[in-house]
Amino acid sequence: MKIIVVGTGFVGLPHAAVMAEYGHEVYAYDIDQKRIDAYKSGEAAQIERYVNEPGLVSAIHETKDRYLFFTSDISDVADGTDIFFFCLNTPPNRDGSTDLSYYSNAAHTVATLLAKRQDKKRVVLVNKSTVPVGTARLLQNIMNEHGVENFGVASNPEFLAQGNAIEGSRKPDRVVVGADTEEDFQILRRVYAQFVNHVRIRYLETTPETAESIKYVANNLLLTYISFWNGVGARIAETFPNVRMEDLKIGVTADTRISTWGSYVSNGAGGSCFGKDIQSMIYQLNQAGRRTDLLQAVYNINEYQKTYLIDRAVHEAGFSFNQKSVALLGLAFKKRTNDMRDSASLKAVESLLAKGVREIRAYDPLAEEAARTYWFNPEKNHLFERINYFDSAKEAIKGSDAVYISTDWEEFRGLSHTINTTVKPPYLVIDGRRMIPDYQTLVERGYDFLPVGGMFLAGKR
Ligand code: UGA
């Protein structure tokens, strides 16, 4: 099949590479020439500046110039294409609705080309990005406006998690295809031939609107799990003595009806999807005059969680942040990424600065550059001058009065040793990710310990 992937970010690029691995002729198209040049160069460092996913670079090396081609101009290659996959940014607007401007610009570009094509064979236009319910119809209207003939629209949402985009594309747990006609289903079956009738992969064919809804319901439910554990399970363990969080999780999730995913309590879920998708669904339902109490509560609980431990430090540990130096460990929204979109660290920094800290000593193995350029840029806000960056957790902790663990980087599991050998009590350890299993040793040695999903423990002094 001849495929054009429109948009080569975190979704589009891995998808293009994996489709090429399966022997399709794939053109990965982006309007950003710098990106395309980086991908064309084939150099790992250049590619990873834009998309950093395990296995991506080797998948590109295996297929580039044989099955996979990069281009910032599709006018010459559009003819004869079977499928266009739209993989574009759909960021949130201020009111929670979805900004479809990138998406609709791309759709108009494609429509203009398709209206002029020489061949009139069936072409299917597929949405992979998360888009509001009904966007496939919008795409249909755009194509009609331009007089495109013999086309179909479909929704084929992606369910990839960051850090697992290549493996997730090669072995998805399900492929959801929403289309209108048997002819279009057939074309998609040929594209996904290796997944149709697979023993472990669910291949679901449905309407475009159902496919669009599946993506929202899935992400909203995943965030509901997390918020349930943060807002109920963790709260209980933080309130009543002798409730052990890990045992609570095991005891509850042993029931096969209850998901284990989401039971990892934290200082709030971040990333580019959960917050955006729940706000968008709230907006879409509200627009239709529907109540959205549960979704609103889930969203609020998750946002509250991002600064909750800092407030607990004040109220339960009696810690005043004013003029203190705080080590902030982890900036990315989760481990193994440099992505800080909606990260809990953004809210934590805001809260710490508002509480008058003298200095934030930040460390993240991957996200420092993103933090300096996009987020905590002193040119945007002079208070960010109070953030200093260090090359290790140990350096960040040196000379601080408290440490706040914000991201679940594996290396933070050994932190009790680092704390022990670097700072002396009184010292407050705030564990937003339950990264310190041997916290008792710290408490014995006089360090104060405040975890998510556990009571405050004053150091023995
Ligand atoms: C999420 C979904 O997991 C994917 O299924 C979905 O396809 C994707 O969004 C998307 O819509 O594109 P992702 O944002 O990469 O994927 O990240 P997750 O691994 O789900 O983590 C999201 C946040 O929740 C992170 O901050 C993570 O640390 C936190 N989390 C996750 C918890 O706090 N507790 C948990 O038990 C699990």
pLDDT (tens digit per residue) in 217-227: 999 999 999 99
pLDDT band at residue 118 under the 50/70/90 scheme:
confident
Give me the CATH number covering residue 64: 3.40.50.720
How much distance in Å is there from the Cα of 221 to the middle of ligand 1? Answer: 11
How many domains, in total, are found in the chain? 3
Residue 299 sits in the same domain as residue 314: no
Residue 144 sits in the same domain as residue 260: no
Q: How far apart are CA 293 and CA 19, in angstroms?
A: 40
| 311 falls within a domain | yes
Closest ligand 1 atom to residue 335 Cα is: 28
- Which residues lie across from 29 on neighbouring strands? 6, 71
Q: How far apart are CA 78 and CA 68, in angstroms?
A: 15
pLDDT, average across residues 287-306: 98
Q: For residue 232, what are the domain limits?
A: 216-304
Q: Is it the case that residue 399 has pLDDT exceeding 90?
A: yes
How much distance in Å is there from the Cα of 339 to the middle of ligand 1? Answer: 12
Q: How far apart are CA 177 and CA 127, in angstroms?
A: 10
pLDDT band at residue 334 under the 50/70/90 scheme:
very high
Residue 372 sits in the same domain as residue 227: no
pLDDT, average across residues 370-393: 95
pLDDT, average across residues 151-165: 96
How much distance in Å is there from the Cα of 441 to the middle of ligand 1? Answer: 32
Residue 346 sits in the same domain as residue 277: no
pLDDT band at residue 358 under the 50/70/90 scheme:
very high
Give me the CATH number covering residue 284: 1.10.1040.10
pLDDT band at residue 25 under the 50/70/90 scheme:
very high
Domain termination site, one of 304, 321, 356: 304
Residue with CA at minimum distance from ligand 1 atom 3 = 161
Q: What local confidence, expressed as pLDDT, does residue 33 receive? A: 97
Report the percent of the chain where pLDDT is more than 70: 100
Query: What does pLDDT average to over the chain?
Result: 96
How much distance in Å is there from the Cα of 82 to the middle of ligand 1? Answer: 32
How much distance in Å is there from the Cα of 327 to the middle of ligand 1? Answer: 25
Residue with CA at minimum distance from ligand 1 atom 24 = 269
Question: Based on C-alpha coordinates, what's the Rg of the chain?
Answer: 24
Residue with CA at minimum distance from ligand 1 atom 18 = 161
Q: Is it the case that residue 430 has pLDDT exceeding 90?
A: yes
Q: What local confidence, expressed as pLDDT, does residue 77 receive? A: 87
The alpha carbon torsion through 262, 268, 271, 274 (nearest 10 deg) reads: 60
Residue 343 sits in the same domain as residue 260: no
Residue 159 sits in the same domain as residue 14: yes
Closest ligand 1 atom to residue 274 Cα is: 9
Q: How far apart are CA 21 and CA 5, in angstroms?
A: 14
pLDDT tens string 402-414? 999 999 999 999 8
pLDDT, average across residues 295-300: 98
Residue 271 sits in the same domain as residue 312: no
| 460 falls within a domain | no
pLDDT tens string 50-68? 999 999 999 999 999 999 9
Q: Is it the case that residue 119 has pLDDT exceeding 90?
A: no
* Lowest-confidence region among 28-37, 318-327, 354-363, 373-382: 373-382
pLDDT, average across residues 377-385: 94
Residue 340 sits in the same domain as residue 242: no
pLDDT, average across residues 254-273: 97
Residue 252 sits in the same domain as residue 168: no
Residue 274 sits in the same domain as residue 422: no
Q: What local confidence, expressed as pLDDT, does residue 170 receive? A: 95
Q: Is it the case that residue 341 has pLDDT exceeding 90?
A: yes
Residue with token string 């888009």? 131
Residue 326 sits in the same domain as residue 415: yes
pLDDT tens string 67-97? 999 999 999 888 999 999 999 999 999 999 9
Residue with CA at minimum distance from ligand 1 atom 11 = 273
pLDDT, average across residues 191-201: 94
Q: How far apart are CA 76 and CA 70, in angstroms?
A: 13
Residue with CA at minimum distance from ligand 1 atom 35 = 262
Q: What local confidence, expressed as pLDDT, does residue 97 receive? A: 96
Residue with CA at minimum distance from ligand 1 atom 29 = 269
How much distance in Å is there from the Cα of 161 to the middle of ligand 1? Answer: 6
